[in-house]
Structure 1
Amino acid sequence: MGACALGSVQCAYAQSSVTLYGIVDGSLLYTSKTLNAATGQSAGHQYSFTDSGLSGSRFGMRGTEDLGGNTRAIFEIESGISVANGSLNNSNGNEFGRQAWVGVDGGFGTIKAGLQFSPFFLAVYDFDPRQMSYFGSGLVTYLNNVYVTGLFNPNAVSYTSPEIAGLQASAMMALGGTAGDFQAGRQYSASLRYHLGSLTVDAALYSGNAGGSAASIAIPSVVEFNGRALGASYTFNNLIVKASYVQYKVAGSFNDRVYSGGASYHITPALNIDAGVYVTRDANSSSNNSILASTGLEYSLSKATAMYGQVGFVTNHGAMHTGISVNNALNEATGTTAGVNVGIRHMF
């Protein structure tokens, strides 16, 4: 530094930037039933304030540094929070439990190392007709099946290729971190996407083992399961239509298959409506099944602030307890439960 100041050597500094960002989302929730965990039946209706009715409340930082040759160093750290009480939420329970990774990006693709989303989860996210709303969407069925496993993956290294002739591949390996036992907590995932004009098709898989160092974090992400996903979307001007099939096969337990479809439509640049239907069936027992259906209306007051309303219902049969809301109603009672959610979201 002193040599630079004295001018005895030539010094150059790479261009870099750091961005602070976040979402603050709060809402009111009504459900006609709540689950009594002991009986599987209803414990009565509820009115509640709910953190993150549409999008998960969070804050984070992302940064880049130009390394030259069309290559950048990149990083991102992200924490989930609750606007209900200021605590950690919408993550694995750690301070930066949503994302905490560093990597490099260039013409060769993107390499990341650290806590990150799996290619399997990102594929499920992309083909959800309700954009993974925290109310009545594919995020509810995902968390209801395997909770945060595959969503927040610690100890992970991933590679995503550039898009070539419409094809883009992604792969991730998460190490369990247990000395002498490579398989404990080991997780891997991959996806292959094809994009042609308005059509996008994606296939993804996930395989995870129990145990490992991830079992000791605040909210463990080590449910032992195999996942498979296949989805497609097509854009018609302001209308986007999506459909997908997702399998959650949990070791020694259920083998749920979720079939979903729906659409979103921008009525005006400020007003958007979407709707989705999610049918879940347990391949191990046909008596276990559910239907979740919901719709939402979002109105943008500005580029950063939006108000929204959502309504939906879920019907559970057998041992199925699909919920209707990620927060406050992730698991629901046998029979039919109706729900309504209204709130406001601000992004910065």
Structure 2
Amino acid sequence: MNRRCVVGTATAVASSLFLAVSAHAQGSVTLYGIADTGLLYLSKTLNTTTGGDGGKFVGMQNGGVAPSIFGLTGTEDLGGGLQAIFKLESGIGPSNGGFNNGNGNLFGREAYVGLKGNFGEVKAGLQFSPFFLSAWALDPRLFSEFGSILAIYSNNVSVTGSFNSNAISYTSPVLGGLQGSAMFSFGGVAGNFQSGRQYSARLKYEWGGLTLDAAFYDSNAGGSVVTVPAGNVPFVGRVIGAAYKFGPVTAKASFESFKVEGGPTNNVYGGGVDYFALPQLDLNAGIWYVSDRNDTSSHSLMGAMGATYFLSKRTGLYAQVGVVDNHGKANLGLTPGAAPTSLFAPAGTTTGATIGIMHMF
């Protein structure tokens, strides 16, 4: 059979399959995303060669409040309350159009397929860990890209625990306000089941305006997946906290622990409030204290506040200010990566501010 016949046959088969799927499928596919960019000022950055002050930074930030992303998500009704689901999500950098806010790949934030029904939800592929989602939910500044627990998370373990490749997860239905989830990520190394292995679990309880949340994470070094930045920092993580919503105000408090293999064991105590002063005006503030149990002279105190004014349901203008004070070997920065050195800050006090615009579609 010549090449033209092979191509023709393959096209015919593909077309038949597409028409068959189209005829039976009852579902939807949605394109969504966020474009967020702004100007960032930092009074100090870390000189990674000397460990001292690398000077001020003024420049663009790819995501000041939210990560800039785009993605596709879809469902198909399979009958009997069962649905097929999928998501493909990419992080982007509006300043240059490149990849950002992900693990370095095209769909480097989430790329999974799964089933959802009365039994709960099962997903397979690249996805957020229950530990990461719990930390996100307990952040009073909603995981802002400036001055939030996200900066502390990234400073400790980079993207480990956020973008988990080769993962299978299960999330239960809500029963009496209680919901659990668990994830296991395979390292993908032949003959070595432990290399790169990651697992996580979460338990959440909601009653009225009160939410209690706790999660666990454990990861091993190695694995077959290569990400940029590195996504296989071996650590054990724990988080527990509570949130209470009353009217337009939500108050949150949490404790987190990052026990990094061969590195620090940082305990993080934090809390803050989020307040919708007007339907179109959101105000929030948070404060965190980070202490290394292995070296108590190494500690940081970070605080930040921000305001977002929504011009519409999709577009908002924001301004944020923050400060971090580092002692000993602590090098916490205010943002997880607007510039090569902005994730870290030298000893002493660093102040920062950002203004920008965010559009959701």
Cα displacement (A) at 1:43: 1.7
C-alpha offsets along residues 251-302 of structure 1, whole Å, 9 cap, x if unaligned?
Answer: 1110001111000100110001000001100000000000010000000001
Instruction: Return the match for 1:256 from 266, 289, 295.
Output: 266
- Residue number among 294, 302, 307 corresponding to 2:304 in the alignment: 294
1:101 and 2:112 are equivalent in the alignment: yes
Task: Trace 1:23-42 onto structure 2 (pairs within 5 A).
Answer: 23-42=34-53
In structure 2, the partner of 1:334 is: 347
- Partner residue, 1:312: 322
1:44 Cα deviation after fit = 1.6
Aligned to 2:7: none
Gaps of 5+ in 1: 6-10
Provide the alpha-carbon RMSD of the alignment.
1.4
2:100 maps to what in 1?
Answer: 89
Q: Does 1:233 align with 2:246?
A: no
Between the aligned partners of 1:275 and 1:24, the Cα distance in structure 2 is 23
Which of 253, 260, 266 pairs up with 1:243?
253
Q: Which amino acid aligns with 1:189?
A: S
Residue matched to 2:204: 193
**What per-residue deviation string (whole Å, max 9, x for no partner) do you get for residues 67-111 of structure 1?**
000110000000100001111011000000000000000110000
Q: Indicate if the aligned counterparts of 2:158 and 2:230 stay in contact, CA closer than 8 A.
A: no
Find the aligned partners of 1:339 and 1:243 in 2 and give their Cα distance: 24
2:281–2:307 contact (8 Å) kept in structure 1: yes
Q: TM-score, normalised by structure 2?
A: 0.92
Which residue is equivalent to 2:8?
none
* Aligned equivalents of 1:104, 1:331: Cα separation in 2: 40
1:8 is aligned to none
Q: How many residues align?
A: 340
Letter of the 2:328 partner, please give it: G
2:286 alignment partner, one of 263, 276, 294: 276
1:123 maps to 2:149? no
State the secondary structure of the residue aligned to 2:106: coil
The answer on 1:147 being equivalent to 2:158 is yes
TM-score (norm 1): 0.96
Ranges in structure 2 where 5+ consecutive residues have no aligned partner:
1-11, 17-21
- One-letter amino acid of the structure 1 residue matched with residue 287 of structure 2: V
- Find the counterpart in structure 1 of residue 85 from structure 2: 74
User: What do the CA deviations read for 1:9-51 (whole angstroms, capped 9, x no partner)?
Assistant: xx96231100000110110011111111122221221211111
Residue type at the aligned position of 1:229: V
Q: Is the 8 A contact 2:283 2:305 kept in 1?
A: yes
Residue-by-residue CA offset, 1:224-252 (whole Å, 9 max, x unaligned) = 00000001000010000000001000011
Q: Are 2:356 and 1:343 equivalent residues in the alignment?
A: yes
- Kindly indicate whether the alpha-carbon contact (under 8 Å) linking 2:138 and 2:242 is maintained by their aligned counterparts in 1: yes
User: 1:159 is matched with which residue?
Assistant: 170
Mapped pair 1:44 → 2:44: no
Cα drift, residue 341 of structure 1 = 0.3
Once the two structures are TM-superposed, the CA of residue 219 in structure 1 deviates from its matched residue by 2.9
- Which has the higher mean CA deviation after the structures are superposed, 11-20 or 108-117? 11-20
Rounded to whole Å, the distance in 2 between the matches of 1:274 and 1:298 is: 9
CA distance in 1, matches of 2:50, 2:335: 20
For residues 132-171 of structure 1, the C-alpha deviation after alignment (integer angstroms, 9 at most, x for no partner) is 0000000000001000000000000000000101110000
State the one-letter code of the partner of 1:183: Q
